[in-house]
Structure 1
Amino acid sequence: MTKLTKNDIQPLVSIITPLYNAAPFIAQTIASIQAQTYQNWEQIIVDDCSTDNSVDIVRALAALDDRIKLITLSRNSGAAHTRNIATEAAQGKYIAFLDSDDLWNAEKLQKQIAFMQKTACDVSYTSYVHIDEHGKPLGKRIVALPELHYKKQHSNNYVGNLTGIYNATSIGKISAPDVRKRQDWALWLDAIKKSGKPALGLQEDLAFYRVREGSMSSNKLNLVKYNYQFYKTCLGYSHIVAALCLLRFFWEYFVVRPEWIQRYDV
C-alpha cells in the first residue's frame, strides 16, 4: 500500500499577501494564518516599498517560521503587480489571498479546502464580516452566494478577495490586470471563466475585512470610475459597451446585492 504524504492529505496552499505600510496590522495577519488548523501552507509576502517598519516585522517573523517568504520590490508598483509576483513564486496546488491588514478564522483553510474537495469545485469563497481598525466588529456581514456564475460575477464582484481560493493545478495560475483598483474582480471573473463552472460559496463567516479610515475602498463615490475602468480597461470594451455594463452594475450593486449584506447588533 502506498503511504500517503502530507501533500496528499493536505495539499499545499499558497497565500498571497501584498504589503505596504501595514506595520500596525501585519503581525496580526500573519498570526491568523499561523493559527490555522490546516498547517500545510506557505505565505508569500511581497513588500511594495514600505516606508514604515513593516518589512522588519515580517523578517523577524519569517526567521521563526520558514513557511513565511518575503519578497521586496525596488519600485512601488501597486497591489496587482505585487500579487502577480507572489503568484509566480507560489508552489501550492491552491492559491488564496489575504491582504496585510485582514484576518482569517482559524478554521478557514481547513473548512474551505475540504469544501472544495467534496464539491470538486475549482473556485470557492466564503462569507465574511467587517471589522474596524482596532479589530472590533462593525455589524456588517457579507454573505457568499451559494453559486456564482460568470454572468453574475460580470455584473458585480461577489467574491471577497480575502476569502477566495482557486485550484491552480486545475485552471492554472491567474495574473491580475495591472490596474490600481478592481484587479481582484477581474481575477475572479477570469478564474470562473477558466474553470468552466460556477464558483461555489461557503456560507460561513471565515474572514474579517478591516475597514480603514481613508482607504480607497471606503469612498464609494470614487469607485465609480474604477468600475467603469474595469469594463473599459480590464475587459477591453468600447466606451459605449462599458457604459452600458456600468448601468447594469448599478442595478446589481444597489438593488440586488443588498440582499446578501446583513446588518446585526454588536
Structure 2
Amino acid sequence: MVSIITPAYRCADVVAETIKSVIAQTYPHWELLIAEDCSPDSTRKVIERWTTVDHRIKLIKLDHNVGPAMARNAALDRAQGRWIAFLDSDDLWLPQKLEQCLEFARMRDAAFVFTGFRRIPLAGGEPGRYISVPATLGYRQLLGNTAIATSTVMLDTACIGRIRMRKTYYDDFDCWLQVVKKGITAHGLDADLMRYRVMEKSVSRNKGKSALKVWRAYRDMEGLSIPLSIWYFIQYAVRGVLKYL
C-alpha cells in the first residue's frame, strides 16, 4: 500500500480537486492521510465530506495550527503503507502517477523516486511547459538543485526507515537531503505526472525569503562552510531561475 501524506491549510477551494486526482489513480492500493491544520475557512468540512465518499481518505484533525512540517509528521505517524507519497493540498496527480512510479521503482530497484511536472495557474487555464528531471541525484547534486517537487516524491520505508520532517522553512528539501545523505540515490522518472498549482500566498512564493532560507539550510542545518555554501547556492539559484523562465 501507498500512504499519501497531505497537509491542508486554507485550501477549501482546491482540495476537492486534489482528492479527486487521487481517487482517479489507476493503482488502487492507497490511503490518503490529510492532516487539516486548523484552517479558518471550510477546508475541514470539505475533507470530511470526501471521507464519506471513499473509505481510503482519512482526515486527521489537528488541535492547533502547527505548520506544514508538523502536519506532515502527524500524517506520517498514522501511515500504514510501505511506500510514502507526498501530495500538497493544492496540487494534482495525473491518473497513472502511482502506477508508473511503483513500476519505475521496481525496474530501477529505487527507494526514492520523483517525477517531472507542469505548473497550472490558480484561476485555471492551460498548463505551463514541462519541467523535466535528472536521472539521478545524490547528496552533493541535490544541494545545488531545485529538481525535486514535493508532490512528485515517493519513498520506500523498507529501505529508508522512518521518515520525519524537521520544523524548518523548507522541511521537504531538508527531508530529501537527510534521506540521500544516508547513501540513498534519488531516481528521476522523466514523465509528466503532476500538476503544481501556483498559489500567490504559498510558502515558496517569496523568492528573496526563500533564497535566504536555502542559505541558512546550508549553514545551519547541513553545517557547510561558507565557500561550499556559496558554491551550492550559486548552482541552486541558477537552476531555480532557469526553471522559472
Q: What is the aligned partner in structure 2 of residue 83 from structure 1? A: 72
SS at 2:104's partner residue? helix
Q: Distance in 2 between matches of 1:88 and 1:141?
A: 34
- Tell me the CA shift for residue 31 of structure 1: 0.1
| Pairing of 1:167-182 with structure 2 (within 5 A) | 167-179=156-168, 181-182=169-170
Q: Relative to structure 1, is the Cα distance of residues 140 and 250 closer, same or farther in structure 2, using a 3 angstrom cutoff?
A: farther
Residue 254 of structure 1 deviates from its aligned partner by 3.9
Partner of 1:230: 217
Matched, 1:132 2:100: no
Q: In structure 2, what is the equivalent of residue 198 of structure 1?
A: 185
Gaps of at least 5 residues in structure 2 are none
What displacement does 1:159 show?
1.1
**TM-score normalised over the length of structure 2:** 0.93
Q: CA deviation at 1:245?
A: 4.0
1:36-51 matches, cutoff 5 A: 36-51=25-40
Alignment correspondent of 2:3: 14
CA distance in 1, matches of 2:239, 2:202: 25
Q: What secondary structure sits across from 2:152 in the alignment?
A: coil
Change (3 A) 1:20 1:255: closer
CA RMSD of aligned residues (A): 1.8
| Distance in 1 of aligned mates of 2:87 and 2:78 | 16
SS in 2 for 1:21: coil
Q: Counterpart in 2 of 1:249?
A: 232
Note if contact 1:84-1:175 (Cα within 8 Å) is conserved in structure 2. yes
Q: Is the Cα contact below 8 Å between 1:140 and 1:262 reproduced in 2?
A: no
Distance 1:256 1:78, change over 3 A: closer
CA distance in 2, matches of 1:113, 1:229: 34
Q: Which residue in the other structure is 2:12 paired with? A: 23
What percent of counterpart residues are identical?
36
Corresponding residue for residue 177 of structure 2: 189
Tell me which residue corresponds to 2:196: 209
Q: Across the two proteins, how many residue pairs are aligned to each other? A: 245
CA 1:143–1:262 in 2, change beyond 3 Å: closer, same or farther?
A: farther
Structure 1: which 5+ runs fail to align? Answer: 1-11
Shift of the 140–220 alpha-carbon distance from structure 1 to 2, 3 Å rule, reads: farther
Alignment CA distance shift 1:57-1:39 (3 Å): same
Runs (4 or more) in structure 1 with deviation over 4 Å come to: 256-259
SS at structure 2 position matched to 1:217: coil
Corresponding residue of 1:160: 149
Q: Deviations over 1:32-84 (max 9, x none)?
A: 00000001000000011111111111111101211011111111111000111
State how far apart, in whole Å, the 2-side matches of 1:28 and 1:142 are: 21
Q: Is the CA contact 1:127–1:202 (under 8 Å) kept in the aligned structure 2?
A: yes
**Matches of 2:175 and 2:146, distance apart in 1:** 10
Q: CA deviation at 1:141?
A: 2.7
SS in 2 for 1:69: strand
Q: What is the rounded CA distance, in whole Å, between the counterparts of 2:124 and 2:97 in structure 1?
A: 18
* Equivalent residues of 1:141, 1:262 under 8 A apart: no
Q: 1:245 to 1:224 in 2, by over 3 A?
A: farther
Report how far residue 138 of structure 1 moved.
4.9
